[in-house]
Structure 1
Amino acid sequence: MSNRTTGAARRHTAEIAEEQRWMSVVFLQGEEADIVLDVIDKSGPDAAIQHLSLWDYGQETRDAALVNGYVYDQIPQSPTDRVIRDEAAGYALTYNIHFGYVSLLRQFAPLVEDARESVEPPARFGFDRQRTVRRTDGLRL
């Protein structure tokens, strides 16, 4: 393998590792958000992140976010939002006391996670279940 190929492979690997996206784990508003906002006020944002992380079901949460379009290049936020990042856990908490909502997002690398999965290709047109059938002469009257 030449150095040129090796260098290109390293750059490609670095690009994949750098591509990070944010997916929505949970978004609460109204009375549900008020409970979490109280947790933030009394125990701090880290306690709220820990509480909201209970809504993260791993792969199931990721798949739901991808299907429903809740995946973002950057943390979605308005100018009046507070954003707290937990780098170690890969979470971001956004909240707004004035508008009464709380959101927890999780960071992920879509290409790296997809490459780790071993997914069988879907069966096309049922060919995997195809069996030979005894042929008949057709209709008889």
Structure 2
Amino acid sequence: MAGYEIRNRTSRWFSVAFLQGAEADAVLGLIDRSGASAAFDYLQPRDLGEATTDAALENGYAYDRIPAGRTDHIIEHDGSPYALTYSRTYRYVSLLRCHPLASELKPTRNSPRRDDIWAVPRSTRQAERTVTL
């Protein structure tokens, strides 16, 4: 899409589950009977964490925003990283998980302080920073 630009993007959405046809009809019926929370509870066990993230990246199911068309309903679960999209017209249900971009993740270890005697000093010389393969 020409001229399309994402500003202040802090996360990506990964596909956890995509159901269509008879499988989706069962979940759509669950939404009608018990509400969207029941659908979240039903689909969340399909999220296998890093394995799901890796599969979504490998297969191209990672998105900058929640993918949805004009006939889709989108429900984001408060306080949860999940979003549910569904369409009765096209008979599908999709569960997505929000994941922060690497730049938004907090480091697991603080950066070394300048007065830290165990920190390795960084070189300022260009020749030492160049890697030849």
TM-score with structure 1 setting the length: 0.66
- Kindly report the root-mean-square deviation, in angstroms, between the aligned alpha carbons of the 2 structures: 1.8
Percent identity (aligned): 48
Q: Deviations over 1:61-88 (max 9, x none)?
A: 0111111110000000001100000131
Q: Deviations over 1:4-44 (max 9, x none)?
A: xxxxxxxxxxx7xx611100000000000011001000000
Unaligned runs of 5+ in 2: 1-7, 109-133
Q: Which amino acid aligns with 2:11?
A: Q
Is the radius of gyration larger for structure 1 or structure 2? 1
Q: Which amino acid aligns with 2:77?
A: D
2:42 to 27, 37, 51: 51
> How many angstroms apart in 2 are the aligned matches of 1:97 and 1:41?
11
> How many angstroms apart in 1 are the aligned matches of 2:45 and 2:51?
13
Residue matched to 2:87: 96
1:67 aligns with 2:61: no
Residue matched to 1:83: 74
Whose helix proportion is higher, 1 or 2? Answer: 1
1:27 aligns with 2:15: no
Q: Deviations over 1:77-103 (max 9, x none)?
A: 001100000131210000001110000
> How many angstroms apart in 1 are the aligned matches of 2:69 and 2:89?
12
Residue matched to 1:110: 101
Query: What is the CA distance between 1:110 and its match in structure 2?
Result: 3.2
| Count of residue pairs brought into register by the alignment | 100
Question: Stretches of 4+ moved more than 6 A in 1?
Answer: none
Secondary structure of the structure 2 residue equivalent to 1:102: strand
> How many angstroms apart in 2 are the aligned matches of 1:33 and 1:106?
18
Secondary structure of the structure 2 residue equivalent to 1:57: coil
